[in-house]
Amino acid sequence: MAEAVAGWLVCPVIRIVVDKAKSCAADRIRWLNGGVPDALQQLDGALTQLRAVASAVERSRGGGDLDRWLLQLKDAVYEADEVVDEFEYRTLGPPRSPLVKIGKQLVGTDESLNRLKGVIKKLDGINDSSGRLMQAAGLQPSWSGELSGHPPTPVGPATGSLLEDSEVFGRDAERKKMVSWLVAASPPDRADPRAAAIPVAAIIGLGGMGKTTLARVLLHDDLVKETFNLVMWVCPSATYHKVGLVKQILQSAGVEVPDNMNNFDCLQRRLEDAVSSKRFLLVLDNVWNKGGMDEDNWSEVLAPLRCGQPGSKIMVTTRKKIVANLLKASKLVPLDGLAFADVWSLFTRIAFSNDSADKHPALQAIGEQLVHKLKGLPLAAKVVGGMLKASRSISHWKRISEMESYANVTSTLELCYRNLQEHLQPCFAICSIFPKNWRFRRDKLVKIWMALDFIRPAEADGRKLEDVGKEYFDQLVQGSFFHERKEGHQNYYYIHDLMHDLAESVSRVDCARVESAEEKQIPRTVRHLSVTADAVTQLKGRCELKRLRMFIILKHSSSSLSQLPDDILKELKGVRVLGLDGCDMVDLSDKIGQLMHLRYLALCKTITRLPQSLTKLFLLQTLSIPKRCRPEQFPKDMRNLKYLRHLDMDRASTSKVVGIGELIHLQGSIEFHVKREKGHTLEDLYDMNGLCRKLHIKNLDVVSSKQEASKAGLRKKQGIKVLELEWNSTGKSDPSVDAQVLEGLEPHPHVEEEVGGPASSWAASLPEGFAFERDVLTETDWQ
């Protein structure tokens, strides 16, 4: 597959750069050099044309020259992305005198403009060479996103209801439960056939778990065959829609449907007639969440089936939990890996055929070791057993057993990956740089995706990028790429071993993980790298650090890293994500300020000093500091970080950030200490409308009036769920003044709804006899 040779898809990256170039070019006012918008428009045109060609090449999975062409294109696209970011970076920063600002902007812009012109020249050359390659491969540019002249790639193999093998191993418990459910009488609300939808059961599991086999076994059960007088088996096509689905169901019911009959209402009436006198079972096998079918579409497709006789049922097999939700399944049957004994029985039946494993003790020992590696997958047992069936050579069996991966075994999982929407593919593949059994936090991973531009602003449609990213993540969970586990009060996510192997396979061109100082050379194509702390100093000469967009240092069990060497740090010129979690450094190097592209910075728990140069990271979105780590102080110009969205740290420490009110994109919880000095007044909170969860305001005794208090703009902060107000008067305060201040601090109604009480009773809802002196007012006080 092309992903394994040329890396993950380049088309989503092209689309991101095009969007950024258009946005940057549209703001002509800020460009002193008029050539910048024109060059950005040229970049837009060149990339748009190349995207059509790249789409066709990627879908063809041609290999050879086509893959080399894709890699060349990807390099140029990433370089273009860097240049566009440089333009954005140079327009930010602290205010300077007009002459200094103009001079620096002109010099910097000229450098970036010359680089951009060079990139456009490269792209033109790549475009020129594409014609010959496309002609040789018999391809046409795919302007619509589909490969011209070829049918769309099917989602999976077409399936049928016939049982391929009379001997089935395992799944006894699932089979018994499903038989009981299938033959059971209708629930009370199905006494009237039109009163409720047909009951639906969903068999859910990863590819290769035996979902289709279990469905076939159930159809051939004697009790089931006696229960239903009409059985329909439908395997939806790759790009199914409601008209096509109804046609397939009708055809499975034995009803002839003319090819030109596409009137949905007419098809529905035919389906009503076909099932009206029948107690039927409809099997929808290998259903994917594709084709734009939402819950309403499915309801329309299945509506005529309500005319079936009581006891009718629907059974669906799918890899995606979201499909079960769309079909409103009332019964879920998750399939996990088979027990070792069942997989071993299946494996030996295929590998040894009519022979007995006991006759070959050496092969039996090798086979048992191999079957343990198959992780309970029946499909894997079949494929590997087939690979060994023709040979009784011990050396051959050993070679197969010692393979790092089994290409045929992973083909089903690769199919799952290829059928992800293109913007989800890199979101999953990037996870390969984390070790197996890594505990993922959804919010943290979403912030990394944002920093890598995996989440497109164009898709936000007025929503926060974080919310779009959460949707991406939830789609991957529903597709079984992650599975959730609750630990205490926290929800964490894990990737199954086989899925992790898949991530490594599809990302090995783009990603690498170094877990030993002695490991081999890192491919030059790698742009996302994780290393254990002991291997960091060995990276020079093994990796082109300047190409990296993500660099994560992981903890090592027996060694630590007290400082990231400056010679490595200064080479990370293009890095967007820098994770220093695995270090034990106390001081962060001043060289950090040279990483102009940095968007995500995670520090280690031992950090105590942050350099002033940190405030030059104008594109930074997330600064993550472990809660147990409390820096002595923050750089004085933190207000320069205009794009900062997440200051993930101990809430009390946020009060040390001078000018935090200028970070108007900041989200999350903060603590704010009111003072009579610039950067610490309530008015500084006015534009911080992205704050969410908890806001703690202290030292309110220095506020003298309702008008001054209202400048905090708390009514605009609808994300705040907990508002904590604190007066710290050392002397006796004036209750009437404090009451006016409290009125001016009236929060958004969302807060009040959480705690109760109408808007007009905000101040009146104080506890009777409440004293403001040295008291803290929290949300519980006005309940």
If asked whether residues 267 and 366 sit together in one domain, one would say: no
Q: Which residue has the higher pLDDT, 780 or 372?
A: 372
Predicted local confidence at residue 353, as pLDDT: 79
If asked whether residues 342 and 372 sit together in one domain, one would say: yes
Q: Is residue 299 part of a domain?
A: yes
Q: Is residue 457 part of a domain?
A: no
Instruction: Read off the pLDDT of residues 486-520 as tens digits, 9 standing for 90 and up.
Output: 777 788 898 876 778 889 988 988 999 988 766 66
Helix and strand numbers (H, E) in the chain are 25, 18
Q: Is a pLDDT exceeding 60 seen at residue 27? A: yes
Q: Which residue has the higher pLDDT, 250 or 95?
A: 250
If asked whether residues 24 and 103 sit together in one domain, one would say: yes
User: Are the CB atoms for 635 and 612 separated by under 8 Å?
Assistant: yes
Predicted local confidence at residue 770, as pLDDT: 41
Domain count, the chain: 4
Q: Is a pLDDT exceeding 70 seen at residue 38? A: yes
If asked whether residues 199 and 310 sit together in one domain, one would say: yes
Q: How far is CA 91 from CA 29, 39, 95, 691, in A?
A: 11, 17, 10, 26
Q: Is residue 395 part of a domain?
A: yes
Q: Is residue 500 part of a domain?
A: no
Predicted local confidence at residue 454, as pLDDT: 92
| Stated pTM of the model | 0.69
Predicted local confidence at residue 127, as pLDDT: 86
Report, as an integer, the average pLDDT of 645-671: 91
- Name the H helices within 92-171: 98-137
Q: Is residue 608 part of a domain?
A: no
Q: 3 falls in which pLDDT band (50, 70, 90)?
A: very low
If asked whether residues 393 and 407 sit together in one domain, one would say: yes
Whole-angstrom Cα distance, residue 644 to residue 614?
A: 12
Predicted local confidence at residue 411, as pLDDT: 60
- Lowest-confidence segment of 31-35, 397-401, 743-747 by average pLDDT: 31-35
If asked whether residues 758 and 673 sit together in one domain, one would say: yes
Q: Which two tokens stand for residue 100?
A: 């200094």
**Could you tell me what percent of the chain has a pLDDT over 90?**
32
If asked whether residues 294 and 367 sit together in one domain, one would say: no
Q: Is a pLDDT exceeding 50 seen at residue 151? A: no
Instruction: Read off the pLDDT of residues 684-699 as tens digits, 9 standing for 90 and up.
Output: 999 999 998 899 999 8
Q: Is residue 625 part of a domain?
A: no
Report, as an integer, the average pLDDT of 121-136: 84
Predicted local confidence at residue 620, as pLDDT: 95
Q: Which residue has the higher pLDDT, 179 or 420?
A: 179
Predicted local confidence at residue 102, as pLDDT: 47
If asked whether residues 341 and 328 sit together in one domain, one would say: no
If asked whether residues 253 and 392 sit together in one domain, one would say: no
Q: 249 falls in which pLDDT band (50, 70, 90)?
A: very high
Q: Is residue 522 part of a domain?
A: no
Report, as an integer, the average pLDDT of 310-329: 91
Q: Is residue 584 part of a domain?
A: no
Q: Which amino acid is at 111?
A: E
Look at residues 398, 418, 438 and tell me which one is the last residue of a structural domain.
Answer: 418
If asked whether residues 353 and 220 sit together in one domain, one would say: no
**226 backbone φψ class: left, alpha, beta (φ>0; ψ -120 to 50):** alpha
If asked whether residues 308 and 261 sit together in one domain, one would say: yes
User: Are the CB atoms for 656 and 676 separated by under 8 Å?
Assistant: no
**Average pLDDT value for the chain:** 81
Q: Which amino acid is at 9?
A: L
Look at residues 373, 388, 418 and tell me which one is the last residue of a structural domain.
Answer: 418
| Distance, CA of 606 to chain centre | 30
Highest mean pLDDT among 24-33, 159-168, 570-579: 570-579
Q: 407 falls in which pLDDT band (50, 70, 90)?
A: very low
- Lowest-confidence segment of 137-146, 467-476, 617-626 by average pLDDT: 137-146
Q: Which domain holds residue 372?
A: 336-418
Whole-angstrom Cα distance, residue 44 to residue 55?
A: 16
Report, as an integer, the average pLDDT of 397-423: 67
Predicted local confidence at residue 461, as pLDDT: 74
Look at residues 382, 397, 418 and tell me which one is the last residue of a structural domain.
Answer: 418
If asked whether residues 200 and 321 sit together in one domain, one would say: yes
Whole-angstrom Cα distance, residue 703 to residue 676?
A: 9
Q: Which residue has the higher pLDDT, 549 or 131?
A: 549
Predicted local confidence at residue 416, as pLDDT: 59
